[in-house]
């Protein structure tokens, strides 16, 4: 009898202790913060240190330390032979970089914005993406094209376009779009190590955002698999699939939906090509509803491709029509009030999710 009493007292004591331990663990894991800018910079630094074939080139990547300071400190550490400032000629330096990749070195090309990659698209598509196939596998093209993609703030139509769907439609390219610091570090390392050309789409507005990172993420060997999405938030009522900055919006929408009794699952795509269709379909087969979110144009977009995949593989599981949230089908306005109307907002995602759940939308 005394033993039973002692056991019950011990169990009651553990119940009081366990919440405190749980809080301590969550605090410990969240204590280490890293900005997306720092994550990208550290990934470049570590890969350059590990492999002498990796080098950087682009406008202002050296002396100015990058237009967004992603390459800060790398010129001083590795010298001008591995951190190359180029003239303002995207077609020129991209062609040089692709040619260098043919010979086995690993260029990382920075575009000040992916809008400027249009000047170099012939080299990206015809020279980089197709060469491995056209050479019967004899020539690999280990190159990364990186830089800010999509809308920033007040920079007008010619500096605000999202090119995820453009590049993801081309066989031979791998297209990655990080959201968090973990994504940025792990995916950039994966891209640099990959034998194929990688288009790495960052978001200017995320550079200064801080995210918690674990010791595993900070390890120099850390790398994320290309082609694998991450379930950022588990849920059972509706799936929200997004990439880049829109993942943050989707998570905020999920918090709002929770107050109305809707449990949303949020998928961070991470990889646009290859697309993790299995994770998306598995989620929809569980929740029976889908909302896709992107800030690009709606026609022929990433969301449209996801919808096609669901219709082809999981149509019988749907309890409601798929909802697509995308940017307005217009060039980006310069005026701030019109710009806000042209890109998806958290409330747009909330309304779409409620429609799929047949809830009243205010």
Contact call for residues 229 and 269 (beta carbons, < 8 A): yes
Whether residues 280 and 343 share a domain: the answer is yes
CA-to-CA distance for 210 and 181, rounded, in angstroms?
Answer: 7
Q: Which residue has the higher pLDDT, 110 or 359?
A: 110
Do 165 and 286 fall into the same domain?
no
| 157 in the same domain as 49 | yes
Cβ count within 10 A of residue 241:
30
Contact 250, 266 (CB under 8 A): yes
- Under the banding of pLDDT at 50, 70 and 90, the label for residue 108 is very high
Residues forming beta bridges with residue 145, ordered by sequence position: 109, 199
User: Looking at 24-28, 269-273, 338-342, 358-362, which range is the least confident one?
Assistant: 24-28
Q: Is residue 307 very low, low, confident or very high in pLDDT (cuts 50, 70, 90)?
A: very high
Residue 361: pLDDT band with limits 50, 70, 90: confident
Percent of the chain with pLDDT over 90: 90
Residue 102 near residue 131 (C-beta atoms within 8 A): yes
From 166, 185, 218, the end of a domain falls on 218
Residue 326 has pLDDT above 80, yes or no: yes
β strands within 8-121, DSSP E = 33-35, 54-58, 83-85, 106-110
Same domain, 45 and 175: yes
- Cβ–Cβ < 8 Å for 292, 265: no
Res 349 pLDDT > 70: yes
Question: Which tokens is 75 given?
Answer: 């010129």
Residue 7 has pLDDT above 90, yes or no: no
| Tokens standing for residue 156 | 């007008």
196 occurs within a structural domain: yes
163-214 pLDDT, tens digit each: 999 999 999 999 999 999 999 999 999 999 999 999 999 999 999 999 999 9
Helices (H), 169-319: 181-193, 215-218, 245-259, 277-287, 302-314
Q: Return the CATH number at 265.
A: 3.40.50.920
pLDDT tens digits, residue range 29-47?
Answer: 445 999 999 999 999 999 9
- Comparing C-alpha atoms, which of 97, 92, 94, 112 is closest to residue 54? 97
Q: Given a cut of 70, is residue 2 above it in pLDDT? A: no
Does residue 341 belong to any structural domain of this protein?
yes
pLDDT recorded at residue 31: 53
Q: 196 and 131, same structural domain?
A: yes
Identify the domain boundary among 218, 251, 273. 218
Considering the chain, what percentage of its residues have pLDDT values greater than 70? 91
- Residue 10 falls within a domain, yes or no? no
Nearest-angstrom CA–CA distance, 237 and 118: 40
Nearest in space to 329 (alpha carbons), one of 194, 117, 77, 161: 161
Give the mean pLDDT of 223-248: 98
User: In which band, very low, low, confident or very high, does the pLDDT at 245 lie, cut at 50, 70 and 90?
Assistant: very high
Q: Residue 256: which H helix or E strand, with range?
A: helix 245-259
Does residue 18 register a pLDDT over 60?
no
- Determine the structural domain holding residue 179 and report its residue range: 32-218
Helix H or strand E segment including 327: none
Tokens of 303: 């969301």
pLDDT at 184: 98
Name residue 146's beta-bridge partners.
Answer: 110, 200
Which positions are catalytic?
Answer: 90, 159
Examine the domain organization and report whether 213 and 236 are in the same domain.
no
Residue 8 has pLDDT above 50, yes or no: no
Cis peptide before 6 (omega within 30 of 0): no
Residue 309 sits at φ, ψ, to 5 deg, of -60, -40
User: Closest Cα partner for 35 from 229, 224, 222, 183?
Assistant: 183
What rounded mean pLDDT belongs to the chain? 92
């Amino acid at each position: 009898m005394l033993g039973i009493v002692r056991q019950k007292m011990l169990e009651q004591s553990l119940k009081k202790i366990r919440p405190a331990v749980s809080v301590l663990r969550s605090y410990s894991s969240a204590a280490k913060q890293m900005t997306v800018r720092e994550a990208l910079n550290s990934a470049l630094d570590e890969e350059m240190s590990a492999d002498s074939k990796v080098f950087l080139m682009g406008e202002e990547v050296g002396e100015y330390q990058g237009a967004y300071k992603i390459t800060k400190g790398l010129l001083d550490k590795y010298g001008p032979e591995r951190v190359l400032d180029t003239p303002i000629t995207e077609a020129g330096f991209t062609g040089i970089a692709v040619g260098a990749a043919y010979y086995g070195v690993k260029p990382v090309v920075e575009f000040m914005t992916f809008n400027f990659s249009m000047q170099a698209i012939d080299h990206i598509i015809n020279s980089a993406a197709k060469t491995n196939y056209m050479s019967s596998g004899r020539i690999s093209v280990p190159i990364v094209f990186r830089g800010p993609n999509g809308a920033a703030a007040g920079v007008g139509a010619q500096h605000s376009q999202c090119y995820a769907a453009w590049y993801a439609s081309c066989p031979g390219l791998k297209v990655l779009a990080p959201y968090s610091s973990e994504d940025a570090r792990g995916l950039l390392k994966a891209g640099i190590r990959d034998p194929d050309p990688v288009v790495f789409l960052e978001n200017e507005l995320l550079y200064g955002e801080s995210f918690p990172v674990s010791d595993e993420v900070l390890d120099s060997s850390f790398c994320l698999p290309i082609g694998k999405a991450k379930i950022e938030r588990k849920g059972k009522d509706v799936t929200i699939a997004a990439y880049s900055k829109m993942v943050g919006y989707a998570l905020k929408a999920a918090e709002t939906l929770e107050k109305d009794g809707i449990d949303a699952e949020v998928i961070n795509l991470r990889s646009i090509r290859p697309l993790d269709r299995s994770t998306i379909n598995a989620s929809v087969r569980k929740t029976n509803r889908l909302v896709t979110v992107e800030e690009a144009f709606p026609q022929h977009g990433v969301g449209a491709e996801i919808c096609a995949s669901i219709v082809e593989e999981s149509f019988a599981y749907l309890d409601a029509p798929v909802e697509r949230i995308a940017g307005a089908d217009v060039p980006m306005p310069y005026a701030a009030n019109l710009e806000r109307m042209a890109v998806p907002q958290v409330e747009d995602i909330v309304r779409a999710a409620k429609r799929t759940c047949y809830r009243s939308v205010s």
